[in-house]
Structure 1
Amino acid sequence: MNKLSIGPQLRTTSVLVVYLLLLHCSRGQSKLIGPSQPIVATVGDDVILPCHLEPAVDVAGMTLAWSTSDLEPRLGFVLLSGQDMVNTKHPSYKGRTSLFTNELKHGNISLKLSKVKPADEGTYQCYVPKLNETSLVELVVGASASPVISLTEIDGDKDGVVLQCESKGWYPEPELLWLDAKGKNLSAGPTETVRGPDDLYTVSSRVTVEKKHSNNIICRVQQSNINQIRETQIHISDYFFNLQSGYSTVTVGLTVSFAVCLLLIPLLLVIFCKMQKIIRLKRRQWAENDHAAKKNLCESNTEDQICMEEEREREQLIACESEKVEDFINGNVEKKTKCKQQMRQEAENSESVKNLKEELETKKKEVEMKQAELQQLQEGNQNIEENLQTLRKKLESKNKELERIKATKFSIHDLTDPSVEEHQKKRRVAEREAASLRKQLETKIKEFKEKQVEVQQLEEEIQRMETNITELNMQLQAEINSRS
């Protein structure tokens, strides 16, 4: 009977020992888990390199290390018994790396890297020496910027215009393409690439656009590794194509007219002056002869009244002739004024001035469109900012919920209770939801920053266009003045 009564006790003890052994074995089999896809970060942003143990193991008191094979010393971050070993860090990482110390007890060894640089790109290793576990994380760093198109010169040989496209602040090195309105590649010059001291690339290229091409030209800059495409479109006015053929004819015609007027005016003035002298001389001779004759007549004539009347008639005739000479001279001055007015009217109606006015109106309309686009971007940024606030509140609420779940403690006697499994399930769900919210928040923050960059670039582009309008106004006025 005693032997039989000992059997159930042995079985209970065996089950407990097996359970403890399984628990110990399961802890010893924890694996470091990293992301299955490369982590993509934008230059200047903060990024998290994920790494955690499954099943979770408290590593708060263990030695933890993050490193990359591209640097010497190779250790980028070491945590020894909870203490950050600053002296082991590579100089480029000092002040930019940190772990989530509150998450170490849950096996989360993810590394936060602040103010990402192009040189940070590479493969990182997460390492727990005590568990002899390693996980790799690949970091891809990228940066992009919108291109700017400018008109550099007019190519008279090919009857076209030369455009230049430039885009600053790319990483890795991007590709630059010229396209027409249908998306077909245009034959352009070689792409010039310059890498700055901040490791960011500036690319530029030139293309000659002929009249056979579409008036809408696109400059596209793209980088496939970071899945970024930025492009800018410009509309080429027909004025630039007609300038070569029409400018010379109009210029020659106006120049000839202007030269003829310049030659005629002095010639007419000389003729007027000579005629005036001749008329005055003749008038003086006639007056002297007539006065002498009449004087002799009056001396022989006894009637003084007749002489007085004839003297008055002579004075009236002289005054009339003087008025005719003045009217003649004034008439020629009026002709000179009309000639100048006619030349100014021809200058204003010339083809080049007309095209300048059309281009000026086109530029004004483009500025209005850009201003409307800027307003839409600013409204979009406001919506994104509101979404960010909502996501932050949700994440804060979810973190509090997760802390409450984690604060619940269970003893070893509760391990077989079904509620424990339910509790663990809720915890995993809450962690996934919190991670999802954090990812959404990071995406929104990145989108918000990109929109801010677009707003800034659009404002700069509008400013350049307004400056261009001012220059066109000055050019138009100078063109009219030079032709008049």
Structure 2
Amino acid sequence: MISVIIVGFLLILLIEASVSLVVVVPEDEIAGQVGSTVTLPCWIAPPQNAEGLEIRWYRPEHFNTPVLFYRDGKIQDIQEEHYRNRSSLGLRSAQSGGLKDGDVSLRLDKLTAQDEGVFHLYLKGDSTFDGQVMTLNITALGSIPVLSQRAVSGDKVNMSCRSSGWFPEPNVRWMSDDRRLLSPGQVSVSRAADGMFSVQSWTIVSPSDTQLISCLLALNTGQHREGRIDITDIISLEVTSGPWKALFIIFLICALLGLAAFIVYKYREKLTVKKPSEQPCEDGAMGNMREENVVLNINMEELRKDAVNITLDRETAHPGLMINKDLKIVRDASGYVQKNEGFPYELCVCGAQKFSSGRHYWEVDLAQNNFPPKDYWLIGVQKDGNCSSTDKSRLTPSDGFWFLCSDGANGFHTNTDPQITLSLSSRPERLGVLLDYDNARLSFYNAKHCQHLLTINTKFSGVLVPLFNPGVGDKSSLKILDVSVESPDSSQPLLGNYSEA
């Protein structure tokens, strides 16, 4: 009798051991970049079918609002809002059989800085359970540093270095032309609402220290950006201009007085001529929109203080577009054929960055590889989530679209009612866009020639994203620039979304 009890007890232990859950994760921490996709690999060993299990991925202190919750054979609609439409069950390798093989990996799309940290997995069967913890490290490589002169005193130069879009906070190093470390200056760090860091640093140098000075920003992973400038030109300009400074100031004052007198004369002359009345363009929610004469000598450096690093969101791209790996260049696919005559308004792709306040500036290159500037393009902003259309009448400010369009021989126009047409002497090779959300303005600039082209006064609401359309048939692509430096042409191939309908 005792032997029977012992045998039964051993059988129970054997059965429980055979159905126990053992969850395995890699020993190394997982790393991902902002905007990319990452998989947190996790599986059951030995392999067993996990389709009938309860799978809960969650962040610390958020067990009841998980990143992903799978039960009863499907993903449940109980989720932390930050991960909605971004999390799914993934595959730890190309050979994985998914849930049938016990693969319970978590896939995260469109990574943000807030995703960094610990992720918990809780796996539960009818009578067994297990769990694991994984750490996700997030990085973001910021913009190329912009070096500029802030002040000159004798043979000393106060240099400034500025860069944005970093995660985590980068280290700053000043170096000479022979790669010697220079005495560090002050460093100012700010953090945006999305968790990304902006850095500005200062240092004092002279020609006796170095001819070339470099500012290098680096992450602990070894990824870095570097900007360089020759300071001898700055010093020589200050030295040679010294004896003539007083004379130059006197000349400048005289020139300004003469210019003021000329403006007053012209103004009085216009008052003697009867002009027809002009009515400002009113468009309900649009408010007043102005087509101004092109204004020269815009301070582009002041605009670029609000520069943001824009990348393309491949998921919003029309199938007839090709986008490069860096998500910076877009053009029409070679096999794409328009279904309707006129400008291809449907060939749109949105930027991955979203804005609901503040000032944001970016630039777009419209001429590469020694080709003439593009004839066809559409650039502006739209409400997040809106869909492009072949029908121009549906792309209006009231529907959440604001843009400037170049339509070949048909010229340049906006999408407002009434439509504003620009008369430009030459096609822009580089277009600057300033979104001033708080002051309800969208401005366009000829960035190469420092010209203001157009400002749209309107009323924004909700979340806005950049909007791009490269048109059809141009030799040049539409390329989003890092406005801090002249960007070389990318040699990376374009990856197409195009598929024949």
Band the TM-score falls in, shorter-chain normalisation: 0.3 to 0.5
Greater CA radius of gyration, 1 or 2? 1
**Which has the larger share of helix?**
1
Return the TM-score normalized by structure 2. 0.44
**Which is richer in strand?**
2
Query: Relative contact order (C-alpha < 8 Å, sep 6+): which is higher?
Result: 2
